[in-house]
Amino acid sequence: METRTKQRDFGLDLVRAAAGVLTLSVHFFLNSGFYETPVAGKTMLAACMVRMLCMTCVPLFLLLTGYTCVGRRWSKGYYRKLLPVLAVYVLAGAACLAFRVVWAGERFTLWGIVRQFTVYSAAPYGWYIEMYIGLFLLSPFFNAAWHALEDGGKGALVLTLMGLTALPGAVNQYRELLPAWWVGVYPLTYYALGAWLREHPLRFKGWQLLACWLGLAVLVGVKGYRTAGSGVYVWLPEDQWGSLALTLESVCLFSLLRRAKGERVPRPLRWCVVRVAKLSLPMYLVSYIADQIVYPVLAQAVPEAHHRLFAMPVAVPAAVLCSLLLAQPIDWAAEALVRLAPVKTNNAQES
């Protein structure tokens, strides 16, 4: 959700919008039969590469969180700032549950409905909210520690977190050398990286950042293709959200998009970016509904799963548009609910 500001930052909006669209693009591979199809042939090789490009979606959201929220301080009213996110989740979850009852014929008891919300499955993609709540609760204390450190200490903290979350997967697939207990705290790694990039933007040229993003996706995509060995896709250590490859990919893409200026962007396109950015959270949560509508149609239109990659430029925009249409009334309703319990906030809040 967005904090109302008179002047929007186009670069941050572009990151937010790209993260939302890439998330729905990753869902293409989940819903199009990619993981059940033998990985053989040039089309599936291309699919492996494109998939890795899209896998930077969640890391972009987390980098953005650290970038925009590192200035937050704890106060008695801090927790009220979570209300907009919770309102969107509850409304999106209600929409998904209604769809599951009407469209899929699922049945729920009253307790079953309550439990769907408490385990973050009312909206089937709601795991992100579960993770985000923990990050939100920790962030003011993390921020206090961050601002107490000198640059050297901040750099050491970033490298320590990367060593705990990103290195084990990269190293242990060849030989078990590093402890992997902490790999699940990768959201803190991305948060710290976002905070670091706010103070120390990468100095690489745009084409270099783009080449790194594309190059890493190609390398990992080729590895995934070869690992499958003409069988179904096998998940690699590089596929994990906190992997070293995805961390580097995401930092490059974030830094590239963050630099974008809106002055030269045509007004209609700029408006679209802003709308997608503003609605990125409800769009993501209700995209389950769009997926259940779009992908059965795709399967019927293109029976051969390995040919469906060619339909991705149609299927993903269709899912995005459908999700945006559903997200807009949810956003309006969430705003109305939050106005009943006003949240005063001076910090940009990520989607």
Question: In whole angstroms, what is the distance from residue 194 CA to residue 74 CA?
Answer: 19
Confidence band of 348 (pLDDT split at 50, 70, 90): very low
What's at 191, amino acid-wise?
Y
In whole numbers, what is the pLDDT of the chain averaged over residues? 93
**284-341 pLDDT, tens digit each:** 999 999 999 999 999 999 999 889 999 999 999 999 999 999 999 999 999 999 988 7
Contact between 89 and 129 under an 8 Å Cβ cutoff? The reply is yes
Contact between 295 and 315 under an 8 Å Cβ cutoff? The reply is yes
Q: Which helix (H) or strand (E) holds 15?
A: helix 10-31
Percentage of the residues of the chain whose pLDDT score is greater than 90: 91
Report DSSP state, residue 241: T
Q: What is the mean pLDDT of residues 179-186?
A: 95
> Can you list the pairs that 257-265 forms with residues at least 24 positions away whose Cβ atoms lie under 8 Å?
257/11, 257/14, 257/15, 257/18, 257/60, 258/11, 258/12, 258/14, 258/15, 258/67, 258/197, 258/201, 259/11, 259/206, 260/10, 260/11, 260/14, 261/10, 261/11, 262/10, 262/13, 265/10
pTM, rounded to two decimals: 0.93
Q: What is the mean pLDDT of residues 87-113?
A: 95
**351: pLDDT strictly greater than 60:** no
**342: pLDDT strictly greater than 70:** no
Characterise 51 by phi-psi region: left (phi > 0), alpha (psi -120 to 50), beta (else). Answer: alpha
Q: What is the mean pLDDT of residues 81-102?
A: 96
Q: Tell me the two tokens of residue 321.
A: 């548009």
Residue 312's pLDDT is: 97
Q: How many residues are present in the chain?
A: 351
Per-residue buried b or exposed e for 24-47, using 16+ beta carbons within 10 Å of the residue's own CB? bbbbbbebbbbeebebeeeebbeb
Phi, psi of 179 (to 5 degrees): -65, 140
**344: pLDDT strictly greater than 80:** no
Residue appearing with tokens 């209600």: 94
- Is residue 232 helix, strand or coil? coil
Residue 347's pLDDT is: 42
